[in-house]
Amino acid sequence: MEQGKAANVAIVGCGPGSKAIMDIIFDEKLSQLRMNLIGVSDINPEAVGYRYAQQKGIFASRDYRDLYKLKELNMIIELTGLEEVTREISRNKPDHVRLMDHVAAHLFWDVFQIEERRIVERRQAEEALIASEAQLRESEGKYRTIFDSTPNSIFILEERSYEILDLNERALEIYGYEREELIGKSFVDLGAYQYREGVLSSKDDEPSTLSSVYPNIGHYKKGGIPFYVNVYAIQSKRGSKFGIVAVTVDITESLAKESQLIQASKMSTLGEMASAVAHELNQPLSAIQIGADLIHNVVEQDGKGWDDMPEVSSHMKEQVDRAVRIINHLREFGRKSEIQKEKININNPIKGVFTLLGQQLSLRGIRVVLHLEDDLPAIMGDTNRLEQVFINLVVNARNAMEAKQGEFARGEVESILTVRSFRENICVVVTVTDTGTGISDDLKDKIFEPFFTTKEVGKGTGLGLSISYGIIKDYDGTIEVESELGKGATFKLTFPAWNEGENGL
């Protein structure tokens, strides 16, 4: 994604939390944020953030409306925690100025902490790899001192068998083994992952690269305790022999925080779908009510109408089964899903979306067209998480088409949602097409950014497409968007098809 221009930011509410946000901006810890702080406001000039900004030479005022006079201002971060302040700023701010309320700011802080940890881990891993090569060229005493001082696990492997020749103390501490239990063991046996490409590939031919990164790999500690690591592997030379240095970085805690963020977004989606589920359950409940009334009348009229009972009871059972399916599906979608990859049919999460939203879309005048190709090859993914992706896309499409309906008299515009799945070369492709308002060219590069939203304040976190982008990437997929303003949009999702020779079982 192309990065936009730097955002010129002002902060309203200068409590202790504001200083932490300022430090993020001043230190440029997340370079992709590209933010400049140009002003702050708080009714208390003695507030921590207010005085801190003044020390930094930043414009400060007790009246936040003075911030509107800053010509280059294009974003306000509201940190007071007061809903009335959020609403007041939303009403009177200049149109070109975006508003991040305190709820989004807290999510921003959580994401920053995850990203900062990743940056530190990546830097530590890179430093460990560099340090490891230097250690192999130095004396054994100096090598061992540095080797054991790194915070990550380091393994020295035989080039072809990946037999563990040496490892540092940190590896023993994290994995829980004694040294003699790991020396001679294959590094590959620390987890179930099959390294199909790169330095740790089991292919007979030479790897195409001297270093490889394998993210989100499941490993096991002694006793079968699972955890997740990023594996960094590099070919190296020790004396006259070549080998492999493998560094593993424990990312279990970071993934747990990511999972919490995804779950929070899922709960937000469930809240938005409450009315849709009510519509879906209303039909079977109405049918059951009619059947119950008929049974009551038969009893009241001494059996008159009894001949209709088999058909009525059968219909009532069907509707009960339907309601049970909807409730079970809703409960399954709402559970916190673990990070996993398994063989799935991409059509299943697509169909799951319309189990929950189909009736609502119909009642809102949106026609759904499904062209799902039979006998598609499987992909490696997770049905629960991919259903979240498709729900996000369908809800966004629904909103875009309803916005377009609002611009025209009823019946003048046709709202059609089309979902296709098909095979394209060695990939499985899904397209989601709507006839809504479309996306302008200047927004196409921004829609996958965290916290970017075109909705009103309080009606969207701006995380739906960003989280969807991350989930798709986790399963080695890509997502693209094509759109023409006023004519609708098409999102294209592409995943590599499962292949037994490459993916294993």
Following DSSP, what letter does each residue of 158-171 receive, concatenated?
A: ETTT-BEEEE-HHH
Cα three-residue angle 83-88-92, rounded to 5 degrees: 155
The segment with the largest mean pLDDT, out of 197-211, 267-281, 292-306, 393-407, is: 393-407
- Contacts of residue 28, defined as CB under 8 A and 6 or more positions apart, other chains included, come to none
Q: What is the predicted pLDDT for the residue at 469?
A: 82
Instruction: Write phi, then psi, for 482 (nearest 5 degrees).
Output: -125, 135
Both tokens of 462, joined, read 């701006």
Regarding pTM above 0.75, the answer is no
The span from the CA of 79 to the CA of 107, in Å, is: 12
For 222-271, strand residue ranges (E) read: 225-238, 241-250
Q: What is the pLDDT of residues 213-226, one digit of tens each?
A: 888 888 999 999 99
pLDDT in tens, 36-48: 899 999 999 999 9
The answer to whether residue 504 scores a pLDDT higher than 60 is no
Q: Contact at 8 Å (CB) between 64 and 89?
A: yes
pLDDT at 263: 61
Q: Is pLDDT at 356 greater than 60 in this prediction?
A: yes
| Position 54 pLDDT exceeds 90 | yes
Report how far residue 397's alpha carbon sits from residue 393's, in angstroms, rounded to the nearest whole number.
Answer: 6
The residue-averaged pLDDT of 178-203 equals: 84
The secondary structure element, H or E, covering residue 182 is helix 179-182
Mean pLDDT, the chain, as a whole number?
78
48-52, 120-124, 136-140, 442-446 — which one is most confidently predicted on average?
48-52
Task: Answer whether 493's CB lies under 8 Å from 473's CB.
Answer: no
Split at pLDDT 50, 70, 90, the class of 457 is very low
β-bridge pairing 241-250 and 225-238: antiparallel
Answer whether residue 493 shows pLDDT above 90. yes
168, two tokens: 């540092």
- Residue 289 backbone dihedrals phi, psi, to 5 degrees: -60, -45
Q: Which domains does the chain possess?
A: 7-100 (3.40.50.720), 115-250 (3.30.450.20), 256-503 (3.30.565.10)
- Residue entry with tokens 């909705």: 455
Position 331 scores a pLDDT of 62
Q: What is the pLDDT confidence band of residue 28, given thresholds at 50, 70 and 90?
A: low
pLDDT (0 to 100) of residue 484? 87
pLDDT computed for residue 46 by the predictor = 93
Mean pLDDT score, 278-286? 62
Neighbouring-strand partners of residue 166? 156
Residue 448: the pLDDT is 72
Q: Which has more confidence, 308 or 149?
A: 149
How far apart CA 315 and CA 295 sit, in angstroms, is 13
pLDDT of amino acid 219: 93
State residue 481 phi and psi, 5-degree precision: -130, 135
